[in-house]
A and B are shown apart, each in its own frame.
Chain A
Amino acid sequence: MDLDFSKEQVEFREQVRTWLEENAPREIRPEMGPAMREYDLGWQRTQWEGGWAGISWPQEYGGRGLSLLQQLIWFEEYGRAGLPGIDACFVGLSHAGPTLMTRSTEEQKAYHLPRILRGEVIWCQGFSEPDAGSDLAALRTRARIEGDELVVSGQKIWTSFATLADWQELLVRTDPEGSRHHGISWVICDMHTPGIEVRGIETIEGGAEFCEVFYDDVRIPLENVVGGLNNGWSVAMSTLSFERGTAFTANQVRLASTVEKLIDLAKERTGPDGRRPAIADDEIARRLATARAEVASLRAMTYAGISRNMHRDQPGPEGSMVKLFYSDIAKKVYRLAFDLLGADALRFVSRWEPGGWSGNYLYSYSVSIGGGTSEVQRNIIGDRVLGLPR
């Protein structure tokens, strides 16, 4: 039991901090469209050029191959620097890339992985469908085989950044006779292929990254199937397991600094009695203190998880506990921010602008839905952590 970082790790932290200070983008991230694409890819390119791309990727695929603790340090400093998430590059770096590494052919790796790392392409995810959300195995988007091509018809939904994406990790049903989990294939789909139509979905916070994607006889080379025809379910499961590692740390650090900002705000703003600062209000002070305590334990939980993962090869299902706890705290924190502002909260400020509390409050409703709803996380914890009967 210790919280000590070695001399090398402390120096590494300094190095990360200095590099981020000198190289991170200072402009506010554009909210949508090609400008946002350019911003995210530009930042990824900067990281590549600085030697910081793919910090958790193995070196053989061009990544930094950092140890777990170095990754932790990187993400802590990244979050502390107040930088935006990797957003549009997320699927490529944390989802599709790692899946390609474990399941694709050497040609596929050689073609796609460097492009992801260098910030040349954006990947999106094509998993969920209108009738296959938490129940992913119910997906119905069909792909029939014609010669050396797949012909895809159907619809995907909740696809972030589909309007800007070059590639998609796409799950299709290649064997309609197979059982739910068999007969699904994981396919690399070129988003510029004829027959693909993308429509934006406006979210409750006015965001425009969300999309639905329609496929009308979209022809994809059969060789784009990863991990073998009809094996898509196992490939998809290996994708999801990359989602809950150290990368989550940056979100937590961001949440912790949000709580600190709220405490400062509560000292500056007049409270509900119209006279004293908000922090003098017992209820507000207690909610702020509770947020501090919970964010602290979220961090400790992450440290415990990383410590556990240092002693084994594969991350366990405990990641779901961090995700669930984070979602719960984030919603409470942004609700608290909203309450702190009083009637000023009614003025909409997008989450990308300074003081964007109302935008962030609305956005917080997505954290317990995206990446597996909190209910699904509870099922995973019940089944796989506690061993409860299904």
Chain B
Amino acid sequence: MDLLPTPGQMEIASLAADFFGNELPISVIRERRDAPVVVDRRVWSESAELGLFGLGIAEELGGAGCELAEETLLFREMGRRLVPGPYLPTVLGARVAALAGQHETASAILSGKATVGLALRRGPDGFEAATTPSTLDGRFQLLDAADSRYLLLLDPAGAALVETAALTDVRSEPAIDPGIRLAEARAEAVPIIAWVSTQEEPIRLRALVLTAAMSVGIAEATRDLSTEHAKVRVQFGRPIGVNQAIKHACADMAVRAEAALSQVLFAAICVQDGRADAEFQALAAKSVAGRFAVENASATIQVHGGMGYTFEHDSHLFLKRAHVLEHLLGEPADHLARLVAQPAAQ
């Protein structure tokens, strides 16, 4: 047992972190707040060349052959740096296409030619368990689908890919987070071009872990922002961090970040190893990390005072993304209901 990432795993994460730091600094979100997509084509192609989309896909399916552990560390870095763009649905969409044997689709996604947006179902989850649905119907909220060729839908029964162009009544909407793009749309008998059932592979659990990993990154980054501010901001002749009101707020952020990180790493291994309590651990990770990211980000606004309330400062971007992540893949209350219904952890 060793829960800590190996030096090799950390190296992958830090390579990706350097790339994001150079190509997608947080300021991009402000600069491109009115652009149709936040991540431009060039950066997207370079992400593909770096192999980010297929990191956790087997080599014989066109990926880099790493595991969920490495992907988890990658998405944690994305959370830390508030990386915009449809990385999560693209990584998972490539996986769905590859596992479903749709090799052309998979290679279009892996090479960066096609992006995948996320479709979140309005209303209750749709597919019967243990069936192979051929079409998609219903109303959907779309995330980062503006420029996407495909949409990924994660249902408890399985994961589906459809073509974005097949949806109707697409209407873009203003988003609380300037780093994402939102739209509403309708699907009527839209053909499903790739389907992977939960029995074949629990992609939804993977998605829960990766989403939680981004929340962890936010919890860590906001802890660091607040701590740094508490060290350098001087009031009454002393750094504000000497005051317990601020010091203890930072300490609580540290505990939340550490708890969320530990649980997400733990859950990643459980899902990767197919442990019996994988769903329990993934739900626990999503629940804890989602909530702690929001709590750390809101505390960060408070620690920064008036500056934290400005658009120019990064605090609100972390808070907004934390809220986006908390509502992805089912509501927090839904995750808790599923968690309490699970058998006890192993």
By a CB distance below 8 angstroms, the chain A residues around B339 are 289, 292-293
B242 pairs with A388, CB closer than 8 A: yes
Interface size class of B (residues with CB under 8 A): 35 or more
- Indicate which residue in A297, A311, A387 contacts B263 across the interface (CB closer than 8 Å): A297
B195-203, B266-274, B313-321 - the one binding chain A? B266-274
Q: How far is the CA of A185 from the CA of B241 in the complex (A)?
A: 33
Known contacts A260-B344, A304-B262, A307-B3: A3-B270 contact under CB 8 Å: yes
The stretch among A93-101, A189-197, A342-350, A373-381 that forms the contact with chain B is A373-381
Residues of B within 8 A of A385 (CB): 251, 254
Instruction: Choose among A5, A306, A307 the residue with the greatest number of B CB atoms under 10 Å from its CB.
Output: A307
B266 touches A303 (CB 8 A): yes
Q: Determine which residue in A279, A288, A289, A304 has the highest number of CB atoms from chain B within 10 A of its CB, and name it.
A: A289
Q: Which residues of A contact B258 (CB under 8 A)?
A: 301, 304, 318, 321, 325
Contact of B255 among A299, A381, A388 (CB under 8 A): A381
Question: From DSSP, what is the main secondary structure of chain B's interface residues?
Answer: helix
Q: Can you name the residue of chain A whose Cβ is closest to the Cβ of B9? A: A1
A2 an interface residue at 8 Å Cβ cutoff? yes
- Beyond A260-B344, A286-B336, A292-B284, whether A300 also contacts B250 by CB under 8 A is no
Interfacial residues of chain A within 47-92, with CB under 8 A of chain B in the complex? 69, 72
Contact A303 B284 (CB under 8 A): no
Contact status A386-B333, CB under 8 Å: no
B residues in contact (CB < 8 Å) with A: 1-6, 9, 69, 223, 227, 230-231, 238-239, 241-242, 244, 247-248, 250-252, 254-255, 258-263, 265-270, 273, 275, 280-281, 283-285, 287-288, 333, 335-337, 339-340, 342, 344-345
When the two chains form their complex, are residues A390 and B288 in contact, meaning their CB atoms are under 8 A apart? no
Known contacts A1-B268, A1-B269, A260-B344; decide if A388 and B230 are in contact (CB<8 Å): yes
Candidates B2, B238, B241, B333; contact of A1 at CB < 8 Å: B2
Alpha-carbon distance between A311 and B285 when the two chains are bound, in angstroms: 25
Q: Contacting A382 at CB < 8 Å: which of B69, B250, B266, B267?
A: B250
Q: Please, which residues of chain A bring their CB within 8 A of the CB of B244?
A: 375, 378-379
Residues on B with beta carbons closer than 8 Å to the beta carbon of A370: none
User: Closest B-chain residue to A324, C-beta based?
Assistant: B255
Top 8 A-B pairs, shortest CB-CB distance: A297-B263, A289-B336, A300-B262, A382-B247, A300-B266, A381-B251, A289-B340, A378-B251
- Sample (12) of A-B pairs whose CB atoms are under 8 Å apart: A1-B5, A1-B265, A3-B269, A289-B335, A289-B339, A296-B345, A300-B262, A300-B266, A303-B266, A308-B4, A388-B241, A388-B250
- Find out whether the CB atom of B340 lies under 8 angstroms from the CB atom of A279: yes
Q: Are A293 and B288 in contact (CB under 8 A)?
A: yes
Q: In the complex, are the beta carbons of B340 and A296 less than 8 A apart?
A: no
Given contacts A289-B337, A304-B261, A388-B227, whether A321 and B4 have CB atoms under 8 Å apart is: no
